[in-house]
């Protein structure tokens, strides 16, 4: 029995994970499984990746001791500032790594799925940087709702293909991207935006985001004289910013892990994206994980005010952390997240993304000791959410 919370050689985290892909993709996925680790661990890759993270993304991102919020919550609260990255969130850490990998594997074309457009923008950005053609699949409804990000992707040179099947949102865009991949398995690299999808994607994305916890270790050593916190906190959609935050502490029992998923209007209302609370075991987009579904296994649409957390699945790493109780998982409703966003803005002068505000809202569900060191990842900045925030201010 493997007691670690890391992935095993078959791509499983406990009972979750694996690679359930159509026959036609088997060889492509197998090829990726065989090549991703040797390439990611090579000196050449690491040199290029770290240089881009430093000079292009602007890393290391600061670890900021939030003085007024620390006072309010009675602990030593540090904010890990992924909101200060180029393009405004953690997603760029992953897309830079995947496009370098794609190039080293000889791929010539990039595809991606996007919901709100954040991952689409991060992918279009690195495709411009690397001069690669880029097709982004996005549900037609989201294309309408997220027109600013659509224009960004277009300005960056990507082709945005609206998907008109199903509910015309993220799940349908992902299905369409997988269909494209099936048609062009030789020359196309599929850049997935979170710790989801068939093995090796969850592990690959977690590794590419693990720069976050690598920096936390060094920064805490400097600021606190020890390399670990008492608590790590992050929001979870698919799970990538959380995976990056906890990566180097997964098996360190001194560190408690707190995850915040999107409750939407409330788990019990059914209008929710709280997959860990409301989901059952199933297979979604190539992995065995927790999935929001009807009794006969149809995927239920996720609902959250926050577009980045609006996914009916969850990364297999996080499903395992939750069922084995390594992580405490809170479901945070829309109104709690909104309130937390305003609180952080007024106490610290930092407008967080609505996704990140879910992690902030979890603070008030906890009790700390005064000397507890808490690190909370601010996954992105709130510029994209201003309309939502200001509507609330009026109402």
Residues serving a catalytic function are: 91, 113, 379
What's the rounded Cα separation, in Å, for the pair 153 and 366?
39
- The reply on whether position 240 binds ligand PLP by CB under 6 A is yes
From the CB of 378, what's the least distance to ligand PLP, in Å?
A: 8
* Residues 58-97: x where in contact with ligand PLP by CB under 6 A, - otherwise, as a string: -------------------------------x-x------
Q: Is 241 in the site for ligand PLP (CB under 6 A)?
A: yes
Question: b/e map of 157-179 (b: 16 or more CB within 10 Å)?
Answer: ebebbbbeeeebbbbbbbbbbbe
User: What are the backbone dihedrals phi and psi of residue 294, each rounded to the nearest 5 degrees, phi first?
Assistant: -75, 165
Identify whether the C-beta of residue 307 lies closer than 8 Å to the C-beta of residue 313: no
The structure tokens listed for 67 are 């003085």
238 binds ligand PLP (CB under 6 A): yes
Q: Which two tokens stand for residue 144?
A: 């309408």
DSSP state of 363: G
Binding to ligand PLP in span 329-358, by CB under 6 A: 353, 355-356
Residue 129 CB burial class (10 angstroms; 0-12, 13-18, ≥19): middle
Calculate ∠ Cα 188-239-57, nearest 5°. 65
According to DSSP, the β-strands at 109-114 and 134-139 are parallel
| 28 belongs to the binding site for ligand PLP (CB under 6 A) | no
- For ligand PLP, the nearest residue by Cβ is 380
CB of 119 to ligand PLP, least distance (A): 6
Q: Does 380 bind ligand PLP (CB under 6 A)?
A: yes
β strands within 140-222, DSSP E? 159-163, 188-190
The phi-psi region of residue 126 (left if phi > 0; otherwise alpha if psi is between -120 and 50; otherwise beta) is alpha
Comparison of 219 and 379: residue with beta carbon closer to ligand PLP? 379
| Beta carbon of residue 170, minimum distance to ligand PLP (angstroms, whole number) | 10
Q: In whole angstroms, give the CA distance from residue 394 to residue 211.
A: 39
* Shortest Cβ 375–ligand PLP spacing (Å): 15
Residues 175-204 that bind ligand PLP (CB under 6 A): 194
Residue 275 found at the interface with ligand PLP (CB under 6 A) = no
Query: Among 69-77, 174-182, 229-237, 330-338, which window interacts with ligand PLP (CB under 6 A)?
Result: 229-237
For position 245 contacting ligand PLP by CB under 6 A, the verdict is: no
Closest approach of Cβ 240 to ligand PLP, in Å? Answer: 3
- Which positions touch ligand PLP (CB under 6 A)? 89, 91, 118, 194, 235-241, 308-309, 353, 355-356, 379-380
């Amino acid at each position: 029995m493997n007691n670690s919370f890391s992935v095993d050689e078959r791509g499983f985290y406990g009972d979750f994970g694996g690679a359930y892909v159509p026959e036609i993709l088997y060889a492509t996925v197998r090829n990726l499984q065989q090549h991703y680790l040797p390439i990611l661990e090579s000196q050449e890759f690491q040199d290029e990746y770290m240089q881009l993270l430093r000079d292009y993304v602007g890393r290391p991102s600061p670890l900021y001791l939030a003085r007024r919020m620390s006072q309010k919550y009675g602990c030593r609260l540090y904010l890990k500032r992924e909101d200060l990255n180029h393009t405004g969130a953690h997603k760029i850490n992953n897309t830079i790594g995947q496009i370098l990998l794609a190039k080293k594997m000889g791929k010539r074309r990039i595809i991606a799925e996007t919901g709100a457009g954040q991952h689409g923008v991060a992918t279009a950005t690195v495709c411009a940087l690397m001069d690669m053609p880029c097709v982004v699949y996005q549900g037609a409804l989201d294309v309408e709702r997220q027109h600013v990000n659509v224009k960004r992707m277009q300005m960056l040179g990507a082709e945005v293909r609206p998907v008109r099947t199903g509910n015309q949102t993220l799940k349908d865009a992902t299905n369409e991207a997988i269909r494209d991949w099936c048609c062009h398995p030789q020359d196309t690299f599929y850049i997935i935006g979170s710790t989801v999808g068939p093995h090796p994607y969850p592990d690959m994305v977690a590794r590419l985001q693990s720069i976050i916890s690598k920096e936390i270790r060094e920064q805490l050593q400097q600021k606190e004289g020890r390399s670990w916190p008492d608590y790590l906190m992050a929001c979870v959609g698919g799970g990538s910013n959380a995976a990056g935050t906890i990566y180097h502490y997964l098996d360190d029992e001194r560190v408690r892990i707190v995850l915040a998923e999107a409750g939407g209007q409330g788990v019990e209302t059914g209008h929710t994206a709280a997959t860990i609370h409301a989901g059952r075991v199933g297979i979604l987009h190539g992995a065995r994980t927790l999935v929001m579904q009807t009794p006969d296994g149809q995927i239920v649409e996720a609902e959250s005010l926050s577009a980045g957390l609006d996914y009916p699945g969850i990364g297999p790493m996080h499903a395992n952390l939750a069922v084995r109780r390594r992580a405490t998982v809170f479901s945070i409703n829309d109104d709690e997240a909104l309130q937390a966003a305003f609180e952080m803005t007024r106490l610290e002068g930092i407008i967080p993304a609505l996704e990140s505000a879910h992690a902030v809202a979890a603070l008030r569900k906890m009790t700390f000791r005064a000397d507890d060191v808490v690190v909370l990842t601010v996954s992105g900045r709130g510029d994209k959410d201003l309309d939502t925030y200001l509507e609330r201010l009026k109402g």
